[in-house]
Structure 1
């Protein structure tokens, strides 16, 4: 069983500050956190790293491993031994941690958008499925979260989106199969996992105040 940990950050700025969150993380994360121009994106990145720190602690792994996150040429983060994936959207942050195989997670809030702006990201077959659906917006997000999760699991780039083949329960990239598993946490959001091995998943909600505890470190 693999757990997905989800935090909903409070939208009020009076609850915590960026500095309060960062003091619980190693300095190596501060520079990357400050690269984000959007405040919510920056806070989401920090919250994701705090979730990762807590996951390390809960699994009996030294939280000093946060200093050893490596990045692929395309920016995919991982540890040498453990895989993880983080996604955030509109004040939610989600983490899956601890797989021995490659994994990708994506959450997206369903918003009204101009679909025409995104047709270049899909194959002709996928785009036809979207525009011919009874609810084109729902169908768009059905494809989009799967493509994003698969992109993360495969470790490829946005330019490769059209090479990612998406089906009901699995996706393909360069003849390699990845399995999809949906998860539910908010009626306004879609959530999906793409993974090299098919395993059951469960969702747990984490209060952000628990991530500010000074106690979970070695």
Structure 2
């Protein structure tokens, strides 16, 4: 079972989150949040941590310590003394957090915006780009691929050190260094694209909206 928690930004609840939730995290993280100039950026980061800890407590009946979160050499966060694997993503006004106690996991959410997709042609394989160009909705097709690729890289763990063009998405699967990754779309909001990736075929997903 994969658990996905998500939430929307809330300006009216921002001060409450800073007062009641931020103090549970280490001093250096608190200072990081306070340095953001826009409340939206501060809350996006904070909500990711809040969703993570809420998910671990509700789903796995554990009470992790914030100090247990460390990073790999490739800046992927993980728990030092906890078997729960997780990944967080945010875009626009949505934050998502995926959790599993069995598989390395990657999730990516992207707001569908009016961008010049041609600027990103170099990031796609020729087959992927051809499908985008021939699609009846080129913008949506582009964000499908972009979000899938980001989710795979996050599951793989080495991030953008691996070029997006070096692997190809085909029927919701791909391979990196002969390791196969599966993908599934997570339908949260029609204004966004969200994909989940892991090395095993994805079966059941539990999706929960959290309101603050």
Q: Partner of 1:165: helix, strand, or coil? A: coil
Which residue number corresponds to residue 179 of structure 2?
176
8 Å CA contact 1:150–1:164 kept in 2: the answer is no
Counterpart check, 1:107 vs 2:116: no
Q: Partner of 1:15: helix, strand, or coil? A: helix
RMSD of Structure 2 on Structure 1 (CA): 1.9
Which residue number corresponds to residue 135 of structure 2?
133
Which residue number corresponds to residue 61 of structure 1?
62
- Please report how far the alpha carbon of residue 28 of structure 1 lies from its aligned counterpart in structure 2 after TM superposition: 4.2
* Structure-2 change in CA distance of 1:153 and 1:119 (3 Å): same
TM-score (norm 2): 0.88
| Large movers: runs of 4+ above 6 Å | none
- Please report how far the alpha carbon of residue 148 of structure 1 lies from its aligned counterpart in structure 2 after TM superposition: 0.6
Query: Which deviates more, 157-166 or 52-61?
Result: 157-166
Unaligned runs of 5+ in 2: none
TM-score (norm 1): 0.85
* Structure-2 change in CA distance of 1:9 and 1:169 (3 Å): same
Which residue number corresponds to residue 145 of structure 2?
143
Map 1:188-207 → 2, pairs under 5 A: 188-198=191-201, 199-207=203-211
8 Å CA contact 2:6–2:96 kept in 1: the answer is yes
Map 1:89-100 → 2, pairs under 5 A: 89-100=91-102
8 Å CA contact 1:25–1:50 kept in 2: the answer is no
Map 1:29-108 → 2, pairs under 5 A: 29-34=29-34, 38-58=38-58, 59-64=60-65, 66-80=66-80, 81-108=83-110
Unaligned runs of 5+ in 1: 209-218
- Please report how far the alpha carbon of residue 158 of structure 1 lies from its aligned counterpart in structure 2 after TM superposition: 1.9
Q: Give the number of aligned pairs.
A: 205
* Structure-2 change in CA distance of 1:36 and 1:120 (3 Å): farther
Q: Partner of 1:57: helix, strand, or coil? A: helix
Q: Provide, for residues 12-49 of structure 1, a one-character-per-residue CA deviation record: whole Å limited to 9, x for no partner.
A: 3x432263242242324224435656542321111100
8 Å CA contact 1:182–1:193 kept in 2: the answer is yes
8 Å CA contact 1:82–1:99 kept in 2: the answer is yes
